[in-house]
Structure 1
């Protein structure tokens, strides 16, 4: 590249240009190739069909262009297959057979059945499509794009060139005019969820049938529950608005009362947000063993990775500044740096149960986590040690190594002492 021969032209093609070194990019001209629009593909195919003196129906070329997904070569290959498959005239049915797509007439029929909550008719249409050999995944994609185009048509009618699946005909316009946006959102959500579930199943047809029934019944359920309660909801909203207005009318008084409160009262009030289970923590300390806490700490990193694999990243983030500090054969104390993180984690019972079950898989023992903020933990621990001393249990129960640690804690404190086994 630095000193190329005059008769050589280097062409580098990649789908990951960000990985090319700067020393290479600085010696190249860059051309970004993007997908070709459906309109451009249709125009090119029209030119080919006219030069070849081939007859075709109006809906044929847009169907092939959409199936090509921006690739001119794919579009021409599909066109060649369709022409070979057809007779004297290239028909819409020929294009649908070659591409595996679903005709707009069937999609219009199906959408109307769903809108009218006619589940039997929707299932009959689906049965016909599957008997014709249509791929369930492809049908689900076509139906999602159908409602996507309807959403664009209703919100921005001038963006007709952005429509991927439909042709603006009288039936489509009629359905889109009476279809509400909320229903379209619901239909797209149900179909998208169905697509995700179909990827991991060998029974795609069942998912499609369930999705159609759900789409037919969802709106009916919403109406049945919302209409009788509409007046009640409006009354509640009006009451809440009045109360909110009253609160807004007294901001100065509320602020004054807050300022006059002593710091100790404000601190006591904020501390009520979370109460650590002192009795449970003291029980763990009384029964604590070094083997249990070391076992949990040794598998703590594996437990965090397991949470990420289970798609619980947001909950696992709460444990970034948390660590096990004491453990008994049946439970362990989980210290959090921030009280808010401790409260969020401990109030999520499913999350805490997940920690317990994952640790059971990793260690073979069932440990129940007990959350506590760092400041509260230090206070509880010091009080426990003090109580043990007063009861005369320290010398009898603590081994020599723990006695040394206790003496070190007295000399330098918890913050300056780092204990390594």
Structure 2
């Protein structure tokens, strides 16, 4: 579990409440459990949600707000109370702190001050850690076409990461029609993504956790719906909510995308820390990579998150050389996964991950190396001179007929 703080907020002023909510929702290390517009209702909110932090805005009625803080300090001692106000009167600050507030924040809030206050609460709750609370890494696994091995990469990457006791890892199958992550893990889940989305209005971290299936490797799975008609209720907005909850609950989230690059897939891609684009060294795949990268250019910052991974490297028949592929794409290949068709067929048919079925195989080592590179966070193996340059764009467009360079 990542050190994520669950927060409940009360502020009768709609404008300042929405501003604070917006700031909180932009922080990876917190989850906004609930917000409330009435002081008198907030104790019930705290009792029902048991958040780590309660934020009380004082300005609508300072006396009432301070009485609320005093009550919460007595009835909910496990919830750290943060007070927020435009006023900086020393007597009021002293009175607020004596009533039981852990921190006093000045409105309009400065994000750095808020983050520092939350970090102090996190350290008191979870203990001191290197660099404070740990945010969630989201890896969206995409395929240049069907059959390139994106699902096997997603599942086995998740299992490798979950093998580290410092990690908690979830896998979300977004191939809503034909996803088969559950087959790779030989799992028969009790709940699917459709069940979670149907309860989206009352979804919280606890409900979501109970909806996941835990594999023996330690990997948690949220599979695609069983019935095709159930996919119709799943929207990009509901996926953002689900991903937000998963980010608040795990140190790593692996998202196995479909090959349609729908609005649902794009919502996941935009939420991702890194996008792993799995391809093979053949003409159809590389053409699709070029097309996708051209599309990704239209979304600010997205292209810089994409890492190109070549699967089934070393399959000589009909493969384009790695050198030619690099020249065509105008950027380096992030990682290579060796060709081992027989092993992959065995693990898929047996429903057993590579680290269990074939821990010493070259393909297993390739997945481990991919995980290590993603976790490293160091310099990316991209030719910075070409990656975002006009000459690189020209190469891509020449490779895609019908588009003028």
Q: Quick one: higher RCO (CA 8 Å, sep 6+), 1 or 2?
A: 2
Bigger share in strand: 2
Point out the structure with the larger helix share.
1
With normalisation by structure 2, the TM-score equals 0.22
Give the number of the structure whose alpha-carbon radius of gyration is greater: 1
